[in-house]
Amino acid sequence: MPTDREIPLTRSNRGWLSAPEQRLIAWIAPGLPRWMSPDFLTALGFAASVVAFAAYALAPGNPAWLWVVNAALVVNWFGDSLDGAVARRRGIERPRYGFFLDQSIDVLSQFLFAVGLGLSGFVSMEIAAVGLATYFMMTAQSLLRAEVSRTFHLASAGFGLTEVRCLFLAVNVAFYLKPPEPFDIAGVRLGYGDLLGMAWIIANLGLYAVGMVRELGQLARDEPPAGKDF
């Protein structure tokens, strides 16, 4: 009987945009030149996150840099979403290497986006940091679920990285059109960007709790106690 680690890891993407995204990837991947290797695409996606970080940091003096952030988000999606598809299409996939590299780069990219957002001033650094922490909680939970179920879930409640990128695209446009102006709430000065960040934090914490309870319930059914101690 195979052990858990001998069971292949499968991917599940139930994001709201997964269907059109997969059609787009299937259309783009065959036309990419051979020199665009999976590792090159991964590096391209990470380079875009560095550009987004720098553009966010420059945005306080000139909000037009937010358009550079949005362009970098599109390039980040391109590299991050196509690296695995290209590897599978060309028959050169390395499942463990690719999984480890992809998740490691995603964590670094998320860190850069969050710190850059905090430096932009559109969201306070404190809220950006807590928001990043709760997103890392969701990432950790996804990896834990992959370990115990051998299914790597790319989205939670319909939200995966692609949906999050689209959310950031929309929020950046809002920041450009109407930069957040701080106002007082119970003696605390907040902008609407901070309120959006707080909503993000609450949503992540709620999803984490619901996901934990559901997975524990499933595991309890799959692994009932062998006996009771008296």
CATH number at residue 190: 1.20.120.1760
The pair of structure tokens assigned to 230 is 């008296």
pLDDT at 225: 84
Q: Is residue 92 part of a domain?
A: yes
CB neighbour class for 13 (10 Å; exposed up to 12, middle 13-18, buried from 19): middle
Q: Is residue 209 part of a domain?
A: yes
Element (H, E) at 222: helix 192-222
The answer to whether residues 37 and 178 touch, using CB atoms and an 8 Å cutoff, is no
Instruction: Give tens-digit pLDDT for 153-180.
Output: 888 888 889 999 999 999 999 999 998 8
User: What's the rounded mean pLDDT across residues 23-30?
Assistant: 95
Q: Is residue 5 part of a domain?
A: no
pLDDT tops 90 at residue 9: no
Q: Is residue 151 part of a domain?
A: yes
Band (8; pLDDT cuts 50, 70, 90): confident
Instruction: Give tens-digit pLDDT for 104-163.
Output: 999 999 999 999 999 999 999 999 999 999 999 999 999 999 998 888 888 888 888 999
Q: Is residue 229 part of a domain?
A: no
For residue 230, count other CB atoms closer than 10 A to its CB.
Answer: 3
Helical residues (DSSP H) of 29-182, grouped into ranges? 38-58, 65-90, 95-120, 125-149, 161-177
Q: Is residue 42 part of a domain?
A: yes
User: What's the rounded mean pLDDT across residues 68-75?
Assistant: 98
pLDDT at 227: 63
Please name the amino acid found at residue 71.
A
Band (230; pLDDT cuts 50, 70, 90): very low
Tell which wins on pLDDT, 189 or 164: 164
Domain containing 176 equals: 10-222
The answer to whether residues 12 and 151 touch, using CB atoms and an 8 Å cutoff, is yes
Q: Shortest CA distance to 154 belongs to which of 133, 166, 138?
A: 138
